[in-house]
Amino acid sequence: MLLNEHYNEALKFYNKTLEYLSEFDPDFYSEVKYLQQSVLLSLASTYHSLGHLDLVIMYCSQCLELDSLNDLAYHKRAQVFALLGNLSEARADLQVALRLNPHNPVLIEDLARVVQ
C-alpha cells in the first residue's frame, strides 16, 4: 500500500471519529472535547503531510475554537503560516503558544526564526 493510501485511510478514520463524537454533548462528557481536539490535530498533521496547508490551518483553527489554550494547535498553525510566508500570523501564534508553554525549546527556536 502506498503512503498516500495510508494517509487517506487515516483521514477516513479521523472524519468518522469526528462524526461519531459530534453525537455527544461535550459539556456533559468532558472527554469528548479532548478527543475532538486530538482528532482535529491528527487531521491537521495528516493534511500537512499531504501538503494541503489550507486544511491544516482550518483544522487547527477548529481545534482552537474548542480550546483557545491549545498550544499545539497554535504551534502547528504557526508552522504553516511561516511556510506560506505569513510571518506576522506565524509570529502571533507562536507568541500565544509560548505564553501557554513558556519552557518549550522548540517554540522558542521557532519564534526566533520567524522574528529574524
* Cα–Cα dist 93/111, whole Å: 9
Tens place of pLDDT per residue across the chain (116 aa)? 567 889 999 999 999 999 999 999 888 888 999 999 999 999 999 999 999 999 999 999 999 999 999 999 999 999 999 999 999 999 999 999 999 999 999 999 999 999 87
For 51, the domain range is: 3-115
Question: Looking at residue 4, what is its pLDDT?
Answer: 82
Question: Looking at residue 88, what is its pLDDT?
Answer: 96
| Burial category of 66 from C-beta neighbours within 10 Å (exposed 0-12, middle 13-18, buried 19 and up) | middle
Question: Looking at residue 2, what is its pLDDT?
Answer: 65
First to last CA, the chain: 42
**Residue 101 φ then ψ, to 5°:** -140, 70
Q: How many domains in the chain?
A: 1
Residue 97 CA neighbour count, 13 Å, CB half: 25
The whole-model pTM stands at 0.92
User: What is the CATH number for 39?
Assistant: 1.25.40.10
